[in-house]
Each structure stands twice: as structure tokens, then as C-alpha cells.
Amino acid sequence: MIGYEELTWATLNLVKRNLYRRLATPLNQALGRLAIVRHITDADEIRAQVIMAEQSLEVALNLLKAWAVLIHVKSGGIIRQDQRRLIAPDGMPAWLVEHLSG
């Protein structure tokens, strides 16, 4: 395992920049939806905003999980057969489909 001293800041910065760019949008969308909820009274509209906030949070969590798995596998880890799920390519981010196809 690589120790803290062996990490390159340039590489970490690339990962941070990519993760931030991909995570910031859905997280900001969720926060925006929740902020809207404080200013509306219609129950159906509140429910719709909360559902959209939940969807944005799910997108962010799925992106984080995808990165965690990618890093795990690329650093020598394995995913057991019972841990694998089939996911249609149209359900994945384009960058991940491209990476897995390469």
C-alpha cells in the first residue's frame, strides 16, 4: 500500500478536480431544491422538489460509488462475483462507459 508520503499532489489534484466537477452540480441542485421548499406551501410542489432533491443526491452518491470502485479495481482490488450488478451502459455516465470499453 502506498504511504501518505508517496502520494503525488498533482495526481490527487486531478482526482479532486474531476470529482469536484462531477459532484458539485448534483449537490448544488439538491441544495437549491431544498431551499425552494422553504418558500412554497403547495404540498404537491413541495413533494416534487423533494423528489428532485433526492434524485440529485442519488446521482452524487452513485458518482462517488463509481469512483470508489474504479479506484479500488485500478489499485489491484477485486470485486467478487456476488458483489457485481449488471448495469446497462445507458445507465452509466459516458466517461465510465468509455473507460470500461477501452
pLDDT above 80: residue 34: yes
pTM confidence score: 0.70
Distance (Å, whole) CA 88 – CA 92: 7
Mean pLDDT computed over every residue of the chain: 87
Distance (Å, whole) CA 79 – CA 96: 17
Q: What is the fold, at CATH topology level, of the domain defined by 8-77?
A: Helix Hairpins (1.10.287)
CA torsion 50-52-57-61 (nearest 10°) is: 140
* Domain boundaries of the chain, sorted by first residue: 8-77
Residue 96 contacts by C-beta under 8 Å, 6 or more apart in sequence? 66, 70
Instruction: State the pLDDT confidence band at 26, using cuts at 50, 70 and 90.
Output: very high
Instruction: State the pLDDT confidence band at 1, using cuts at 50, 70 and 90.
Output: low
